Chains A and B, each alone.
Chain A
Amino acid sequence: MGLLRTKRSVLPGFGLTLGFSVAYLCLLILIPLAGLFVKSASLTAAEFLAAVGSPRALAAYRLSFGASFAAAAANAVFGLVVAWVLVRYRFPGSGALDALVDLPFALPTAVAGITLTTLLAKNGWLGRYLEPFGIPVAYTPLGITIALIFIGLPFVVRTVQPVLQDLEPELEEAAASLGANRFETFRRVLFPTLWPALVTGFALAFARSLGEYGSVVFISGNMPMKTEIAPLLIVTQLEQYEYGAATAIAAVLLVLSFAMLLGINALQRYGTRRFAGAGEEPA
């Protein structure tokens, strides 16, 4: 373990805690995930490409990416507004509202799926008002997007909120005293500080949405090529005993999600450095 450490520390427990963490991580997460790649490696390259590149698979990725992107984008906009309102304004019920933001973390996804379908189907509480305008929601990509907005909202709010809280009022005051109006202050001063957090929240919501299953299957309609999401396609392949194809598609999703996580972490490090650098200047 001494080899790993780059800085001496007097604190004990490094070997024990790191060893335990890494062992547990390997046993529970990494080895099982490696099994997935071993299994998909049982396909030949041609079979693998056929499985992950079939028109149906491509349509499913397109839908999963499109709906996840749309949902994450909507969350980036509304999540920023919500975070702003929660941090900057005090009004009756703001505390309850703040607590409510975590609901999608705590509510089981299947319950969310059944509930949203009940609400948005054309005989549902909301759906019946949308249907006459020719906006069918349940069983369309729009319905999928709405379910994903539900799932992803807390990711954006909870990453933007702390940054907004830590913003120093002096920054805005300085901008104002230099003659900037409110909108310019937001665009030139606040937004540059907020965007790494905003992008991180967006990416987290996006990564989570890509794999989401429980809340989406009830509302999606599951039409191949139209409303079939990638995780459902994995299940579909499994049910036809196509283990190889299922694991191949799963591996593709996994690699994409992992790449995104790496990106998020790099971004966070970038954000911290920037922030840290800004803090050092006055000294």
Chain B
Amino acid sequence: MTSASAGRDWTLADVPPPPRTASAVADPPWVRGLLIGVALLFLGLFLLLPLVTVFGQAFSKGIGVYLDAITDPMALAAMRLTLLVAAISVPVNAVFGVAAAWAIAKFEFRGKSLLITAIDLPFAVSPVVSGLIFVLLFGAQGLLGPWLTLHGVKIIFAIPGIVIATTFITFPFVAHELIPLMQEQGTEEEEAAVSLGASGFQIFRRVTLPNISLGLLYGIVLLNARAMGEFGAVSVVSGHIRGQTNTMPLHVEILYNEYQGAAAFAVASLLALLAVVTLVVKRVLEWRMGRASRAL
């Protein structure tokens, strides 16, 4: 327990709340209306309108063009690749996130804040730079390039390169989500389990995992959305071979460049749909998490 929440417990338990005077605490109605109006206008213009535009443009040439675009063999190949990339980088980063959060949240050690900062690093690295570093490392002119070519290993401009770049970009999501959650939960429950003689893995599975499962899912959902939607980094390492190394976002760009605006937005609408599903799943998780914390 952090001292902050301890302080709150004390207040809530022992002091009868003062009588609430609504006018002193609540905003005047005109402020309330104004703020809601500003928020609605801002979100409507900046978020809702672009979302509507994607679907509007996607169906601008009719449902036939839409269906053709998303069932085109190149589009299917792009979807397949995108799913494959996500199917690899999401579990890998989820495992990392849990391990890192365990070490950071349950133990005190030197260099901890540096480690936390290092984990966040991919958030701040330009996607272009993320792609570039792997070209510098694995490209034919790169540090490991000659060795890779000699042994016939293809990384850059092939699926492994796309997976690595995506994994780099999505690296912090789960850890970022779990560290504060696990820090807040403290170590009492696990320590109790140790005193009852549970093994490390048993503790994790029976005590920790149920506590963090919703947060973990939440992180995975965001991680997945980003993995499927990454453009900048993947564009640098992909090589743009049609039907081979084009992910869905790259396929959108290609269609856009081929003057097939409606088809580009059709494929984009699938990604936007993914975004909407992500938001709904996230919302449901939040709701369940809220319920779970109230139940405690």
Interface of A with B (CB < 8 Å)?
4-7, 9-14, 16-18, 20-22, 24-25, 28-30, 32-33, 35-36, 38-39, 78, 81-82, 84-86, 88-89, 91, 95, 97-112, 114-116, 118-119, 125-126, 146, 149-150, 153, 168-170, 172-173, 176-177, 182, 204, 207-208, 210-214, 230-231, 234-235, 238, 243, 246-247, 250, 253-254, 257-258, 260-262, 265, 269, 272, 275-276, 278-283
Contact = CB atoms under 8 A, between A and B. Distances in A.
B268 A99 contact: no
Given A11-B187, A17-B99, A254 B222 contact: no
B25 A261 contact: no
Nearest to B137: A35
B168 A29 contact: yes
A171 to B, nearest CB: 10
A17 B98 CA distance: 9
21 contacts: A7-B108, A10-B195, A11-B107, A11-B191, A13-B103, A18-B109, A20-B99, A22-B115, A28-B164, A32-B168, A100-B279, A103-B279, A109-B249, A126-B49, A176-B24, A211-B127, A213-B127, A214-B232, A234-B126, A253-B126, A283-B6
Contact of A100 (B43, B132, B226): B43
B42 interface: yes
Interface residues of B, number: 115
Contact of B249 (A5, A20, A97, A110): A110
A234 B132 contact: yes
Contacts of B283: 95, 98-99
B213 interface: no
Given A9-B106, A173-B20, A260 B124 contact: yes
A238 B135 CA distance: 11
Contacts of A118: 53, 57, 261
B129 interface: yes
Interface stretch (B26-34, B68-76, B146-154): B26-34
A82 B39 contact: yes
A177 B46 contact: no
